[in-house]
């Protein structure tokens, strides 16, 4: 199990020093010693969000942070514009439904990015929209949405700008303050490369004003309580946090600081480019439009006549490389290569080499070594 090369869009492989940090003894979560770790981690987290506002680390999955974002700004029947171009866009809409808001859905064809103009039109037509939700990197389709451009539009409207950067933060360009993002959420197990089970959130002053005037629809994820505890001295969490995962987050964030956030993002961009080049060289087809193809996960159409079990099964069982399949109606129709977090050139070459051999064995037309060569050339010509 330890030999499996994890090339899925999260959870990602975790650096040995993060695993080591995680295995330190448990301390009292209300002690000064833990307060220091929480403070340092939250500050690094805010740096990664590129915001001057505080960031809060939550014990829960990325979905918990998505829920926190919605359940603290919604009154019953409030209207939220949910941009839906994949499974995670859908999730925001379902969360709004669960909390009895009105979800207005902007449907975007899966595999394409949202057109900022479409958002502008809806906001011009409907001044009742309290917030819009957008998934930056739609993990399910491998599409990166133009959060910077949409941020420019959003500055002209009162609606809050809520962005899910679960699978992009620390791997693609996200500048919370500069883009005017009001609520930004992320997860621990994607580009941050910590184990899954923690999430993070940051809010603008405008967003806090709305939160203050809204009765939280959740107890566990009540942001007012989270802020109050987080801003105490030493900082705390309202309920017992995952101490071990906080050690891991702290170490993973330190690795990001050492690498340099901008270097890390460049590394992700290069890995994505190399992967796309390899896919093209192998005669495979990208699922998303190439100009919106994600920096952290590449979605590829399943070759004609090949099943998910054949392709991913061979990769897993024969080559110890774990890829991700498609979700919902994309099941069997695409496969996805994650290249986020700590993924190295060598790992990418291993994955693509294994893909070539798998294609060969499945009787597909493939020039062995051509994908690998594309990766090499991409890195040599950077």
The residues of the shown chain that bind a copy of itself, judged by CB under 8 A, are: 1-2, 4, 6, 8, 10-14, 19-20, 22-29, 31, 33, 59-64, 67, 94-95, 98-99, 187, 189, 195-198, 216-222, 238-245, 248, 322, 324
* 99 or 208: CB nearest a copy of itself: 99
315-331 in b/e form (b: 16+ CB < 10 A) is bbeebebebbbbeeebe
Q: Cβ closer to a copy of itself: 52 or 97?
A: 97
Q: How far apart are CA 370 and CA 127, in angstroms?
A: 53
Residue number with CB closer to a copy of itself (244 or 370): 244
Cβ closer to a copy of itself: 217 or 268?
217
- For residue 359, the minimal CB distance to a copy of itself (Å) is 21
Q: Are strands 129-135 and 55-59 parallel, antiparallel or unpaired?
A: unpaired
Rg of the chain, C-alpha, whole Å: 21
In this complex, which beta carbon is closest to a copy of itself, that of residue 50 or of residue 217? Answer: 217
User: Hunting for tokens 């920096």 — which residue is that?
Assistant: 295
Q: Name the minimum Å distance from CB 196 to a copy of itself.
A: 5
Question: What's the closest the beta carbon of residue 13 comes to a copy of itself, in angstroms?
Answer: 6
Least distance (Å) between residue 25 CB and a copy of itself: 5
Quickly count: other Cβ atoms within 10 Å of residue 228's Cβ: 12
Angle value at C-alpha 22, between 20 and 24, nearest 5 degrees? 80
Minimum distance, C-beta of residue 239 to a copy of itself, in the bound complex (Å): 4
Residue closer to a copy of itself, measured from CB, 107 or 215? 215
Residue among 216 and 374 whose Cβ is closer to a copy of itself: 216
Q: With respect to a copy of itself, which residue has the nearer C-beta, 10 or 288? A: 10
Q: How far is the CB of 229 from a copy of itself (least distance, A)?
A: 12
CB of 216 or CB of 353, closer to a copy of itself: 216
**CB of residue 203 to a copy of itself, shortest distance in Å:** 18
Tell me whether residue 8 or residue 253 sits nearer to a copy of itself (CB atom): 8
Question: Could you write out the three-class secondary structure of the chain?
Answer: CCCCEECCCCCCCCCHHHHHHHCCCCCCCCCHHHHHHHHHHHHHHHHHHCCCCCEEEEECCHHHHHHHHHHCCCCCCCEEEEEECCHHHHHHHHHHHHCCCEEEEEECCCCCCCCHHHHHHHHHHCCCEEEEEEECEECCCCEECCHHHHHHHHCCCCCEEEEECCCCECCECCCHHHHCCCEEEEECCCCCCCCCCEEEEEECHHHHHHHHCCCCCCCCCCHHHHHHHHCCCCCCCCCCCCHHHHHHHHHHHHHHHHHCHHHHHHHHHHHHHHHHHHHHHCCCCECCCHHHECCCEEEEECCCCCCHHHHHHHHHHHHCEECEECCHHHCCCEEEEECCCCCCHHHHHHHHHHHHHHHHHCCCCCCCCHHHHHHHHHHHCC
């Amino acid at each position: 199990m330890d030999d499996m090369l994890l090339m899925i869009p999260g959870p990602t492989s975790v650096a040995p020093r993060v695993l080591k940090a995680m295995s330190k003894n448990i301390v009292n979560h209300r002690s000064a010693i833990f307060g220091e770790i929480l403070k340092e981690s939250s500050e690094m987290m805010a740096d990664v969000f590129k915001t001057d506002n505080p960031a809060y680390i939550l014990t829960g999955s990325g979905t918990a942070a998505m829920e926190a974002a919605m359940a603290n700004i919604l009154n019953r029947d409030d209207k939220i514009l949910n941009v839906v171009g994949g499974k995670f866009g859908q999730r925001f809409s379902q969360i709004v439904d669960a909390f009895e808001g009105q979800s207005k859905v902007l449907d975007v064809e899966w595999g394409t990015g949202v057109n900022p103009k479409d958002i502008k039109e809806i906001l011009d037509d409907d001044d009742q929209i309290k917030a819009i939700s957008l998934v930056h990197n739609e993990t399910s389709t491998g599409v990166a949405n133009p959060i910077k451009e949409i941020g420019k539009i959003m500055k002209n409207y009162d609606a809050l700008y809520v962005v899910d950067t679960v699978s992009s933060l620390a791997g693609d360009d996200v500048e919370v303050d500069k883009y005017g993002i009001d609520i930004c959420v992320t997860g621990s197990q994607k580009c941050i490369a910590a184990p899954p089970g923690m999430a993070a959130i940051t809010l603008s002053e405008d967003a806090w004003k709305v939160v203050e005037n809204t009765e939280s629809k959740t107890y566990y994820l009540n942001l007012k309580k989270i802020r109050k505890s987080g801003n105490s001295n030493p900082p705390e969490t309202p309920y017992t946090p995952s101490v071990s995962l906080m050690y891991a987050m702290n170490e993973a964030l330190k690795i990001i600081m050492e690498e340099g956030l901008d270097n890390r993002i460049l590394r992700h961009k290069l890995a994505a480019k190399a992967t796309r080049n390899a896919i093209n060289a192998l005669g495979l087809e990208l699922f998303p439009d190439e100009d919106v193809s994600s920096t952290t996960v590449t979605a590829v159409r399943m070759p004609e006549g090949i099943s998910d079990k054949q392709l991913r099964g061979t990769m897993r069982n024969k080559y110890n490389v774990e890829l991700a399949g498609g979700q919902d109606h994309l099941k069997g129709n695409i496969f996805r290569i994650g290249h986020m977090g700590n993924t190295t050139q060598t790992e990418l070459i291993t994955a693509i080499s294994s893909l070539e051999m798998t294609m060969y064995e499945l009787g597909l037309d493939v020039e062995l070594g051509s994908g690998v060569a594309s990766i090499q050339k991409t890195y040599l010509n950077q």
